[in-house]
A and B are shown apart, each in its own frame.
Chain A
Amino acid sequence: MKKWRNGFFLLFLVATSLILITQQVGAQAESPQKTALISGTIFDSQKQPVAGAEIVWSPQPGGEPLAQTTSQPNGSFALVLPETVKGSLLTGSAIRSSNSSEAGLPLSQVLTSTLTLQISRPHFKPDAIQLDQAAVQSLKAGQPVALPEIVMQRRIDLGFWIATVVFILVLVLIASGQLHNTLASLLGAALLLGISYLGEPLRQDLFIFNFNNALNYVDWNVVFLIMGMMIVIAVVERTGIFQWLAYMAYRISGGRTWLLVPILMLITGVASAFLDNVTTMLLMTPITVQIALSMGISPLALLMPEVMASNMMGISTLIGTPTNILIGSYASITFNDFLKNLTPGVFLGFIGLVIYSEFVYRKELLSDSEEGVSALLLEKLAERARITEPIHLQKAGVVGLGMLLLFIFGENVHLLPSVTALMGATALLVWIKPDIEEMIEAVDWTTLVFFITLFIVVGAVQEVGLISFIADGISRVVGSNLVLATLIIIWLSALLSTVIANIPFTAAMLPVVAFLSGTIPGATDKVLFYCLSVGSALGGNGSLIGASANMVTAGIAERAGYPITYVYFLKKGFPALVITVGLLTLWIFIRF
């Protein structure tokens, strides 16, 4: 019975497919062979494609449009002219005749010696493209006409200023901590959309973008990649692996603090290359404090090098930092690309950071305890540093290895990192079968909303042209000098990231870097995107507010009685920024 049912279903499927294919072929056969078609591509002054521009043909200025279309995301458009035109639409025209008003005139009679296309788009100056006589003759003969590149000029309107002010407001709210990051960007997105919809009826230039346009700016690859990794992290964090690794670092070092520092930095750095830095530091900080207290040394002498290593080594992989995820997705830089082009440089920076940390904390790394290392505390430490969920850890290890292989080799089949992360997270959930409610709760929806709304806010300043003006400005400064552009992107990103949140900064800089990469000779190998990755991440070492991992580490250290103040972090962190950014700059010049 089941076989019959399956067979019938298969037959139905084949028959339906055949009917659909036949209809498709029939429709194609019926379509006219000769179509008067005008095609072209629209760019802005930064050579970026302009999507959503309206191209209209109307025989009389201000008259009824007889043909219209919209440019695609790549800026291209194809305007199909009608074969016949109703005479009633040709008001005031010399060719209008009473008997043609209903029957319609052939296009060849409607077309005069020239033809003008009106091109308009919010935030751009309206443009008119006039086709010459030869082009019109081709159209009359039913031949398609391809226009040369069309460049639309930006227009600074009220929407421009509103989007700019909202963007700055969001940055200030995030930097000052007046509002939670997510709330700040949500407020920004709501303001932009609210003003667009409610303001447009009052003044047309209050329109910034509509909801669909806004959603087009959201990079779902980034959102799903982060979500997938959150689930994986939620499983790994409960296994006790961090605590165990930190304790092993102590065991391997044999209590020698000069050796303990680089081992802890390496563990933290490698963990940060695969997991998010905040999670890594949240789990590493308490156990590090305990190790330091057991050894009678200042926890800050271990914590500061750890958090700086975390901020730096996160950039060695595509998934190590949110900024790398943004850059990778935007510029199609793969997991392997980051490994090849940044990881060796990161290890160079790591060596510099180790030497700096050993030097700057040389006094604090000496035990100030009268009794030296406490046997009782070490015993307790060993007790705590246990793998609490060994089975889960094994399974997470297997899935993690599989994900790593897919991240590395998946690019051969164009497998998106977000798909790998989702597959890995799902495999882990199916295999471990945890409490699904608990796991879904482990996904930080607040962060995901932050990213979605941030994309919209940054999209708005892209839409109105602010990013283009910034790109233009930088372009004028650097000209075609790639070395200068490299230095400016790295160091400017690093310095700005010490005071403004690096995620919105990076998101806003991506189109700027794309423009520079397209205009500066030799920058086509995405070198400037790597510069942005280096600068925005390493800038986090320059100040306490430069990275979320710093804030979390400081919060925990303070609760242990060892506060990390803004000034303290600046004193210890800023020289580290200069050293590591300097070394990474050197690496980029060597590599590219």
Chain B
Amino acid sequence: MSEKKIRHIICAVRGRPESRETVTKAIDLALEYEARLTFLHIMDAEFVEHATVIPLSVIYQELKGMGEFAMMILKDRAQRRGVKEVDYVIREGNVIKQIRQFAIETRAEMMVVGEPKNWPGRNIFKAQEFQAFMDQLEQEANLVILRVMPEE
């Protein structure tokens, strides 16, 4: 695996301030390997499904706009650092399923994600689930997963 050429790196983040280290690491690696860097943002809107009169399509459109904005900031950051090939992808639906699907589809060689920790708000993964998911994904998508621990 270590001999495998890294051409494409996926960085799955939400864009929150705590993911700064994860993004920095992904940019560093993209520069090191001269790889393409894709920021992946998954949006789920199940929290509003029962709370509003607005159709989900309109909500997703708004959330997509917001997600794009956050990803544009990251893309801009990577470009300023000198990453030549950088883009972002916004997907909607279940976060775990979408990450798995995207990793398999793109055949990227590496994925950079933030290690879940106790932060205010809802974690996508619980610690044990995260470990199991990462192990499974490494096998299924044949890629290296790099976990970055956010600073305190």
Identify the A interface with B (CB < 8 A). Answer: 180-182, 230, 233-234, 237-238, 276, 278-279, 282-283, 285-287, 289-290, 293-294, 374, 376-377, 380-381, 384, 438, 441-444, 446-447, 548, 551-552, 555-556, 558-565, 567-568
- How far, in Å, is B89 (CB) from chain A's closest CB? 16
Which has the most chain B C-beta neighbours within 10 Å: A380, A561, A567? A561
- How far, in Å, is B119 (CB) from chain A's closest CB? 7
Complex interface: stretch among B25-33, B61-69, B126-134, B141-149: B61-69
**CB pair B69 A444 closer than 8 Å:** no
**CB pair B54 A560 closer than 8 Å:** no
- How far, in Å, is A281 (CB) from chain B's closest CB? 9
Residues of B within 8 A of A237 (CB): 54, 58
B43 within 8 A of A: yes
Chain B positions 57 through 77: 1 when the CB is less than 8 Å from some CB of chain A, otherwise 0 = 011001101110110110010
**CB pair B69 A293 closer than 8 Å:** yes
**CB pair A380 B69 closer than 8 Å:** yes
Identify the B interface with A (CB < 8 A). Answer: 14-19, 43-45, 47-48, 50-55, 58-59, 62-63, 65-67, 69-70, 72-73, 76, 119-122
**CB pair B59 A376 closer than 8 Å:** no
Residue of B nearest to A549 (CB): B51
Which has the most chain A C-beta neighbours within 10 Å: B44, B66, B72, B122? B66
Residues of B within 8 A of A444 (CB): 52-53
Cα distance A548–B51 when bound, in Å?
A: 7
> Can you list 20 A-B pairs with a CB-CB distance of less than 8 A?
A181-B50, A279-B52, A283-B62, A286-B63, A289-B66, A289-B69, A293-B69, A294-B69, A374-B73, A376-B76, A380-B72, A384-B65, A444-B52, A447-B53, A559-B44, A560-B15, A561-B14, A561-B17, A563-B120, A565-B121
**CB pair A442 B72 closer than 8 Å:** no
- How far, in Å, is B8 (CB) from chain A's closest CB? 24
Give which listed residue, B17, B43, B66, B72, contacts A376 with CB less than 8 A: B72
Known: A278-B51, A279-B54, A552-B51. A558 touches B121 (CB 8 A): yes
**CB pair B72 A555 closer than 8 Å:** no
Q: A-B pairs with the 9 shortest C-beta distances?
A: A561-B16, A563-B121, A555-B47, A286-B66, A444-B53, A286-B62, A565-B120, A561-B14, A290-B69
**CB pair B16 A560 closer than 8 Å:** yes
Cα distance A181–B50 when bound, in Å?
A: 9
Residues of B within 8 A of A555 (CB): 47-48
Known: A278-B53, A443-B53, A556-B63. A561 touches B76 (CB 8 A): no
Cα distance A278–B58 when bound, in Å?
A: 14
Cα distance A213–B4 when bound, in Å?
A: 75
Give which listed residue, B48, B54, B73, B119, contacts A293 with CB less than 8 A: B73
Residue of A nearest to B43 (CB): A559
Residues of B within 8 A of A377 (CB): 69, 72-73, 76
Residue of A nearest to B120 (CB): A565
Residues of A within 8 A of B48 (CB): 282, 552, 555-556
Cα distance A130–B51 when bound, in Å?
A: 56
Cα distance A447–B63 when bound, in Å?
A: 23
Residues of A within 8 A of B52 (CB): 278-279, 282, 444, 552
Cα distance A568–B121 when bound, in Å?
A: 10
Residues of A within 8 A of B72 (CB): 376-377, 380
**CB pair B47 A551 closer than 8 Å:** yes
**CB pair B14 A560 closer than 8 Å:** yes
Cα distance A279–B48 when bound, in Å?
A: 10
Residues of A within 8 A of B43 (CB): 559
Cα distance A498–B95 when bound, in Å?
A: 32
Which has the most chain B C-beta neighbours within 10 Å: A294, A562, A564? A562
**CB pair B66 A558 closer than 8 Å:** no
- How far, in Å, is B101 (CB) from chain A's closest CB? 19
Residues of A within 8 A of B62 (CB): 282-283, 285-287, 556
Residue of A nearest to B59 (CB): A282
Residues of B within 8 A of A447 (CB): 53
**CB pair B70 A561 closer than 8 Å:** yes
Known: A278-B52, A443-B53. A559 touches B67 (CB 8 A): yes
